[in-house]
Homo-oligomer: A and B are copies of this chain.
């Protein structure tokens, strides 16, 4: 009954999700097939990214881990980590900072997890996940409606919460950035929120790896505020950063070792 192949794989996923951890032998007995077959199933499910194989079995992989693992193998991961390291270095003890949603700010949150005497306010689920166990960091969430794609909170609830607070520093992400139009996002709700976030901080940084410079995949924009700093990685050549310089925007280019290549103002 080879029809059962798809059904069995789905069942394996369900079992793994509910029990968290399953063994090849257990699955083999449950479905009455050989261990070889189970192994093949696990191989396939692993390739699909729904499962992680362990010694003699498999473990469930939730959405966060799924994307997280995918992110880590992405080409921009190193760039994001460099940017995050630099950004973490700007944060001083005792400050209250605002972290936008996104993977880059998630990386920054990871860097900050071991700090003490720090308040991190965020609109991003990724950030919350990274700081969930950081007992020495005060973590606040602005709330709102969860956007599935960006894993961030938006909406009137978010904006209302934001209007009650100010910050020492705000770190924003972006889907794209151009010197002319500023931050680019999928919809106006997000750009308005980012604009608001940037306005309520003493120092505002826009963290984008080089590939996003000069691109605007969507048509909602939030212009750079006065004094905002653009932070990117060494994959950005001077042709990419020049338009920002021309408009008087501070640009910081960080290399993988954390050194800064140029920092005009």
Partner-B contacts on A (CB < 8 A)? 17-21, 52-55, 59, 62-66, 68-69, 72-73, 81, 110, 125, 128-135, 138-146, 148, 151, 153, 155, 157-158, 160-161, 164
The answer to whether B139 touches A142, judged by C-beta atoms less than 8 angstroms apart, is no
CB atoms of B140 and A141 under 8 A apart: no
For A42, give the chain B residue with the smallest CB separation: B55
A contacts with B: majority SS? mixed
Per the bound structure, the CA–CA distance linking A69 and B18 in Å amounts to 10
> In whole angstroms, what is the CA distance A21 to B53 when docked?
12
Point out the residue from B17, B141, B148 that lies within 8 Å of A141, measured CB to CB.
Answer: B141
Whether the Cβ atoms of A65 and B63 lie closer than 8 Å is no
Given contacts A54-B52, A62-B68, whether A148 and B125 have CB atoms under 8 Å apart is no
Chain B residues with CB under 8 A of A68:
20, 62
* A64 contacts across to B, CB distance below 8 A: 62, 64, 129, 132
Docked Cα-Cα span, A140 to B132, in Å, equals 18
Chain B residue contacts of A144, Cβ below 8 A: 140-141, 143
Which partner residue on chain B sits nearest A140 by CB separation?
B145
Measured between beta carbons, the chain B residues less than 8 angstroms from A139 are 145-146
Whether A63 lies near B140 (C-beta < 8 A) is no
Chain B residues with CB under 8 Å of A133's CB are 63, 66, 148
Contact partners of A134 in chain B: CB under 8 A? 148
Residues of B within 8 A of A52 (CB): 52, 54, 59
Chain B residue with Cβ nearest A70:
B20
**Which chain B residue has the least Cβ–Cβ distance from A63?**
B133
- Are B146 and A132 in contact, with the CB atoms below 8 A? yes
In the complex formed, the residue of B with least CB distance to A61 is: B65
With the chains together, A66 CA to B62 CA distance in Å? 12
